[in-house]
Amino acid sequence: MGLTQNNPLEVAGRCYLVSGAAGGLAKPIVAELLERGARLILMDTDTDGLNSVIAAHGDENAIAFTGDITDQAALDAAVDLGQTRFGCLHGGLNAAGLLPIAASDSMDADLFRQCIDVNLTGAFLFSQALAPALRAAGGGRIVHIASVSSMVSNPAYAAYAGSKGGLAQIVRVLGREWAADSIAVNAIGPALTETALTRDYLSDPAFRARAIGDIPMGRLGLPEDLVGLALLLFGPGGGFITGQTIYVDGGRTLV
Ligand SMILES: NC(=O)c1ccc[n+]([C@@H]2O[C@H](COP(=O)([O-])OP(=O)(O)OC[C@H]3O[C@@H](n4cnc5c(N)ncnc54)[C@H](O)[C@@H]3O)[C@@H](O)[C@H]2O)c1
């Protein structure tokens, strides 16, 4: 059957693990996946945040799981939960992350390590925990939220850009390593978007004006901007895309 006879964004009946599921960028993707009939394990360290996501969508097709993406046992338990409750898992969205911004002369070493631990090591462990389940399902899709900082250099972003640049490379390596198992691994690279992660920084008018000035389309990102690409990467239309970091950034990576 040709692709034109299918919906390239179809996710009905598919089951996914979502980390950072209580966060600002995950929220509209989670809402759209549920709206279209997917079933989700929602993982985050923020139990209250998870509860409010469940309150918004109901618990029929979404299960909350409090866990840390740097904790392999928690990731294994989340994958087990998905397989037990849904029968199998078809993929994962990793939207967990930290953003410490500090001039490199004064960046705290522990904060640097924590950023790498969550954004980079956590992303790797998330992928590693999912891979056997996806192999068992005959293949699957892993989508990470990277950043324009996977490519551009912003002053005071050494930890964050290091983690996100590394993530873009992990995505390329895993994409190649697991292609024969029909596991596609990709990342979405958003521009600066107002969420809990960035709200304090953006409350500084000079920071905000500079951020908008750096984006050729002249506005910050919106969480909703990522939904279309996320659906494509999970749906039949994205089946031959792997190892890519695709920027949804109003042109930020062009300058
Ligand atoms: N907001 C932006 O401007 C922006 C731009 C580019 C990329 N990103 C990336 O997108 C992702 C989501 O960011 P956001 O803006 O939604 O931030 P957010 O703070 O709203 O959400 C991040 C979520 O991750 C969770 N989290 C943090 N550490 C965790 C851990 N160790 N284990 C499990 N969950 C953990 C938090 O509790 C939170 O719910 C991050 O990776 C971020 O780097 C954000």
Calculate the dihedral angle through the C-alpha atoms of 82, 87, 88, 94, rounding to the nearest 10 degrees. -20
Q: Which of 17, 18, 19, 25 to mutate to test the pocket of ligand 1 (most atoms within 8 A of CB)?
A: 25
Domain contains 3: no
Domain contains 2: no
Which residue range(s) make up the domain with 112?
A: 12-247
Provide the angle, in degrees to the nearest 10, between the axes of the packed helices 109-116 and 158-177. Answer: 20
Cβ neighbours around 58 below 10 Å, total = 9
Q: Per the structure, how many domains does the chain have?
A: 1
Domain contains 195: yes
By the 8 A CB rule, do 187 and 171 touch?
yes
pTM for this entry: 0.98
CATH number of the domain residue 146 falls in: 3.40.50.720
Domain contains 252: no
pLDDT per residue of the chain (255 residues) written in tens, 0 to 9:
455 557 999 999 999 999 999 999 999 999 999 999 999 999 999 999 999 999 999 989 999 999 999 999 999 999 999 999 999 999 999 999 999 999 999 999 999 999 999 999 999 999 999 999 999 999 999 999 999 999 999 999 999 999 999 999 999 999 999 999 999 999 999 999 999 999 999 999 999 999 999 999 999 999 999 999 999 999 999 999 999 999 999 999 999
Distance 96 CA to ligand 1 centre (A): 4
Domain contains 163: yes
Beta-ladder partners of 19: 43, 94
Domain contains 7: no
Nearest C-alpha to atom 43 of ligand 1 is from which residue? 97
Domain contains 187: yes
Ligand 1 binding pocket (C-beta < 6 A) is 19-20, 22-26, 44-46, 49, 68-70, 95-99, 118-119, 122, 145, 147, 190, 192-193, 195-198
Domain contains 122: yes
